[in-house]
Chain A
């Protein structure tokens, strides 16, 4: 069974640029959630995708957007990067079954905005 994978591992961008982060779900999972973790803080929920539709969103501006593909892999796009977007971006996949939708996390992508 393949776990959740994310790419790239590290990324450096400059303010105002755009970035795309990728996530491959664990085999058999149909739901993907994205989190942002700033240094020294717990992860914060960005949004969740289920069957290619956004299923819920946290307190993040519209310049944070996502996609989920038919194979349940996912992308997180961030436009007009700001310095405060520097963080560890985490993807978690789960199987949408009531009472048992445990989320499993990937290793994360470390984004640095200069």
Chain B
């Protein structure tokens, strides 16, 4: 699985959009971009994933560049409850002959403040 690079920490004011970047310059054509977050001492929570098109769900939007070498997770109106470590992961889904493991990096610690 391709490696990802994320800033170690970011701050965001409550109510504003939080834009979390991720670089994955060695991503392969069949690798998806996944985002998870982990609130202190809890299990990681799935947020969103995509292959090459932009995706949106009730939690967030995922913007993937045309060359797929980077992406941005957008939390449109951050709240204090969004304070967490956000992990960007690229992986090949199951069905390609390998275990569909998630390889976590160190993530971005997002602090949402009043």
Contacts and interface: CB of A to CB of B under 8 A. Distances in A.
Interface string B34-52: 1010000111111001000
Given A31-B94, A99-B93, A99-B95, A106 B101 contact: no
How many interface residues does chain A have, given as a range? 20 to 34
Contacts of B42: 107-108
B43 A108 contact: yes
A72 interface: no
B41 A88 contact: yes
Given A94-B94, A96-B94, A98-B93, A33 B104 contact: no
Contacts, number: 77
Interface stretch (A12-20, A38-46, A61-69, A76-84): A38-46
A55 interface: yes
A105 B101 contact: no
A102 B104 contact: no
A66 B88 CA distance: 28
Given A35-B104, A43-B44, 17 more contacts: A33-B102, A35-B102, A42-B87, A45-B99, A48-B99, A55-B99, A56-B100, A92-B43, A92-B44, A94-B100, A98-B96, A101-B95, A102-B46, A105-B44, A107-B42, A107-B43, A108-B43
26 contacts: A4-B43, A31-B94, A33-B102, A35-B102, A42-B104, A43-B44, A45-B101, A45-B102, A48-B100, A90-B43, A90-B44, A92-B43, A92-B44, A94-B94, A97-B95, A98-B93, A98-B94, A99-B32, A101-B93, A103-B46, A103-B100, A105-B36, A105-B43, A105-B45, A105-B46, A108-B42
Interface of B: 32, 34, 36, 41-46, 49, 87, 93-96, 98-107
Interface of A: 4, 31, 33, 35, 41-45, 47-48, 55-58, 88, 90, 92, 94, 96-108, 110
